[in-house]
Amino acid sequence: MNASTALVESVNLHKDFHGVEVLKGIDMLVAEGEVVCLLGPSGSGKTTFLRCINQLEVFNGGRLYVDGELLGLRDAGGTLHRLPDKQIARQRRQIGMVFQRFNLFPHKTALENVIEGPVQVGGVRKKEAVAEAKVLLERVGLAERADHYPSQLSGGQQQRVAIARALAMKPKLMLFDEPTSALDPELVGEVLAVMRELADDGMTMIVVTHEIAFARDVADRVVFMDGGVVVEEGPPSEVIRAPKHERTKTFLSRIL
């Protein structure tokens, strides 16, 4: 894999909050079309890493490239160089993010939630956005619910709307931050099924999850993080079935 095929390249990425280092030099390459699952105990820096990729956090050191473009770096003198705001906004539009909480607009229907980004941010004409949103809602199995408000939908349905909403911006990369951990157990499967289809369609995805079966079956690569570092990574057949490191073994034994 070389830099030209890497959609995300993180080099020695550091991030601290008020002097406490939570990312201690993350190196990671994610190729186009790859599905990477990030596993690790709570507090290991997984969310912070995703937020750096999406530029919701400013990192303190190292380099991060998305689609070959350098998002920022801190030079030897300690000065932070970031992309100009306009380019940050453009980069963000290429990245879809799905959170643990669905964050839908409560006063808008499923369809209105999905068209919001394309119309307000993407400059797409409403008619066109509606047609595309209907296709996306169909894709996540919610064609019948287009006119429902979030409060009329189950958690699993809301999360599928959130996925459709992210896809409406035609992202190159989808980031998922524990997308099923706020759901009742019986609703987890329907969301994972949509994610699995996305993966099968070739979407590049970084997924923070505790769903080991999903990681085992869908991920091309599993990255195990602990304490702000990547402890080990590899295909699920190695990291999940035969972890090398004690910390990975302990973590897996707790959640399996």
For ligand ADP, the closer CB: 130 or 182:
182
Q: Which residue among 12, 43, 56, 121 contacts ligand ADP (CB under 6 A)?
A: 43
By CB under 6 A, residue 46 contacts ligand ADP: yes
Q: How far is the CB of 109 from ligand ADP (least distance, A)?
A: 31
Tell me the CA end-to-end span of the chain in Å, nearest whole number.
Answer: 32
Closest separation in Å from C-beta 179 to ligand ADP: 13
C-alpha 25/C-alpha 217 separation (Å) is 28
User: Which of residues 48, 157, 158, 180 is near ligand ADP by CB under 6 A?
Assistant: 48
Residue 157 per-residue DSSP state: H
Which of 10, 44, 158, 209 lies at the binding interface for ligand ADP (CB under 6 A)? 44
Contact 134, 99 (CB under 8 A): no
Q: How far is the CB of 139 from ligand ADP (least distance, A)?
A: 28
Q: Is 17 in the site for ligand ADP (CB under 6 A)?
A: yes
Contact between 61 and ligand ADP per CB under 6 A: no
Rounding to the nearest 10 degrees, give the CA dihedral for residues 53, 56, 60, 62: 10
Distance CA(164)–CA(172), nearest Å, equals 14
d(CA 71, CA 91): 9
Q: Do 243 and 232 contact (CB within 8 A), yes or no? A: yes
Residue 14 beta carbon to ligand ADP: minimum distance, rounded to whole angstroms: 13
Query: Rounded to the nearest whole angstrom, what is the least distance from the CB of residue 231 to ligand ADP in the complex?
Result: 12
Q: Is 47 in the site for ligand ADP (CB under 6 A)?
A: yes
45 binds ligand ADP (CB under 6 A): yes
Q: How many alpha carbons fall within 13 Å on the CB side of residue 194?
A: 27
Q: Which stretch binds ligand ADP (CB under 6 A): 40-48, 66-74, 188-196, 245-253?
A: 40-48
Judged by CB under 6 A, the stretch of 27-35, 38-46, 104-112, 244-252 that binds ligand ADP is 38-46
Give the torsion through C-alpha atoms of 15, 19, 22, 28, to 10 deg. Answer: 30
Across the chain, the runs of DSSP E, i.e. the strands, are 6-17, 20-31, 35-39, 61-66, 69-74, 80-82, 95-98, 173-177, 204-208, 221-226, 229-234
**Smallest distance, Å, CB 17 to ligand ADP?**
3
> Does 19 contact ligand ADP by CB under 6 A?
no
Q: Give the interface with ligand ADP as residue ranges (CB under 6 A).
A: 17, 22, 40, 42-48
